[in-house]
Amino acid sequence: MSKISEELDRVVIKFAGDSGDGMQLTGDQFSNTTAFVGNDLSTFPDYPAEIRAPQGTIAGVSGFKIQFGNTTIFSPGDKVDVLVAMNPAALKANTEWIKDRGTIIVDSDSFKAKDFEKAGYSSNPLEDGTFDGYKIIQAPITKLSKDSVDSFNIENKFKTRSKNMFALGMIYWLFNRPLEITENFLQNKFKNKPELAKANIASLKAGYNFALTLELLPSTYTIKAADLPKGKYRSITGNTAAAWGLLAAAEKSGLQLFLGTYPITPASDILHELSKHKGFDVISLQAEDEIAGICSAIGAAFAGCLAVTTTSGPGLALKGEAIGLAIMTELPIVIVDVQRGGPSTGLPTKTEQSDLMQAVYGRNGESPAIVIAASTPSNCYDFAFMASKLAIEHMTPVILLTDGFIANGAEPWKIKETSSLPSITPNKVNVLNKEEWKPYLRKSDTLSRAWAVPGTEGFEHRIGGLEKQENSGNVSYDPKNHERMVQVRAEKVKRVANFIPNLEVKGAEKGDLLIVGWGGTFGSLFTAFHEVYKQHSTVAYAHFNYINPLPKNTAEVFACYKTILVCELNLGQFVKILRSELPQFNYFSFNKVQGLPFTTAELATEFNKYL
């Protein structure tokens, strides 16, 4: 058959089905292959909150969205060009996210009367006019996938589980992707079960060949490689990047990395990743609860390790008292908080910037901590490294905020050599200076005390949660000493502003509107800003990665704009901090609390209101 190939700049695809249909694996494989052929990309895995929702229901729908193209991609996109829906529930859950006249590929074997009922349809949506104007491709994916693996010596229950590979094969043909990367993955994944590997590869090829001969697909699509800086790349998620940034910091500082933590969605993958790296002398402890996790990390910091604990919002609340202990003892510890929807258990698999107030203020007493935030999946590496550097060199806890969106999302990452990273200098005691040393004697520039590791002869000292006498470290209940120590600890964190970058602005140097974001909203905000800036030259964008303390030039930047619009996935936590710290400016806020990231369209609409 003669079929043409149409060239596109960018495409958004979503794979959706039951949580057991393998949509996350399918999306991961498409992402890896897309990164390999040189496209830039951004992904958004969307997990169901229910662990075992009834099969075929909307509550059990799992999705994976990816935007890829030949230009720089900053977000996973808004509406999708192509939706792969493995059942009616997946179709219904994503109806509002399909572009007008978009393409919908469905597994017709799962579109029966009983399936419509489970999804809440009263009739067949493919035939009742619901999707008139869309390009509907009905393929018997389950049956054809099962037929393709029938000759292999595998259990019956596995014969339909390869249908996700059949669907992936169809999409590979549609977008001119090679099969070899996924074939190699399957061979490695099932190296101890070669028949399963062969069966999945057969299903992948069957889907590819089915699309090749399907008359309903008139053309394939080509997306050229993006013009990215030269180097060696890999696709990376935020959680993996954070783990590797911690590894790099341990290597750079010469310290052993210790992770004391308790599993919690969506932070658990950092534990999973670090537990693989015993070859780098990593100690990973899965503790019995959140409190034990951070207390073990405090012990490791006392013993001279790069100490880390990971959590999400509910766990950060439980760790609050121990974070206060680390602040009082002035020990370096990194707390990674992968934010999710709250309060309480909230939305464990959905994203939200819900913990900022808790990170900045959520402890008893005057207990300031450094708070920073990563903004993309790949720069979780950089900010995990920086969190470690700040904690070690300033001898104080650092809270690193990421969120479920960037933690589970992926993008191409240019692999870094540790030699290119800044140095990390632990403030260890000088063993030749025993006579002048005191436990809380401080460096003049950072106010950090020296790190005396237990067992270092001549440097024995008291440590604990009770207030210390200035310099000596003896327990003190003197009122004036307490006030002095509180002020010193606050000043120590404030002086970190001298060691972090200035706030950068994109767009107009002076103007009508400054768009402000922080953390994982960067991709959506920058994409929307870029679109609006084409029509309005008086708009600018500033993104915060350093929250406490704020960059030193923040007030200077804000003074250049008439209006400041702060956009957050909460009800306005950062704007409250800005109003408290810098009350002289004119702030407005745009907020979303739906467990979903911002869309470019809704942001652009909001920006234009102020222009």
CB 119 within 8 A of CB 88: yes
- Report pLDDT for 430: 85
Which one-letter DSSP state was computed for residue 423? P
**Residue 526 to residue 412: CA distance in whole angstroms:** 18
* 374 neighbors 238 (Cβ within 8 angstroms): yes
Q: What is the pLDDT of residues 217-240, one digit of tens each?
A: 667 888 999 988 888 888 999 999
Q: CB–CB of 489/366 below 8 Å?
A: yes
All domains in the chain, ordered by first residue: 4-222 (3.40.920.10), 234-420 (3.40.50.970), 505-609 (3.40.50.920)
Nearest to 96 by CA among 601, 465, 605: 601
Distances from the Cα of 348 to the Cαs of 49, 261, 267, 288, 373, in angstroms?
Answer: 6, 17, 10, 20, 20
**pLDDT tens across 548-588, in order?**
999 999 999 999 999 999 999 999 999 999 999 999 999 99
pLDDT in tens, 119-176: 999 999 999 999 999 999 999 999 999 999 999 988 887 888 899 999 999 999 999 9
Q: What is the mean pLDDT of residues 364-372?
A: 97
Task: For residue 332, give the nearest of 241, 400, 380, 284 by alpha carbon.
Answer: 400
Give the mean model confidence (pLDDT) for residues 7-32: 95
Indicate the DSSP class of residue 71.
Answer: S
Band of pLDDT at residue 1, cut at 50, 70 and 90: very low
Distant-in-sequence contacts of 354-358, Cβ < 8 A, 24+ apart: 354/313, 354/569, 354/570, 354/573, 355/312, 355/313, 355/316, 355/401, 356/401, 356/518, 356/547, 356/568, 356/570, 356/573, 356/574, 356/577, 357/573, 357/576, 357/577, 358/313, 358/316, 358/317, 358/320
Picking from 51-60, 346-355, 571-580, which range would have the lowest pLDDT averaged per residue? 51-60
Q: What are the tens digits of pLDDT across the range 80-127?
A: 999 999 999 999 999 999 999 999 999 999 999 999 999 999 999 999
- In the DSSP assignment, the letter for residue 419 is G
State the chain's mean pLDDT as an integer: 95
Report pLDDT digits (tens) over 280-339: 999 999 999 999 999 999 999 999 999 999 999 999 999 999 999 999 999 999 999 999
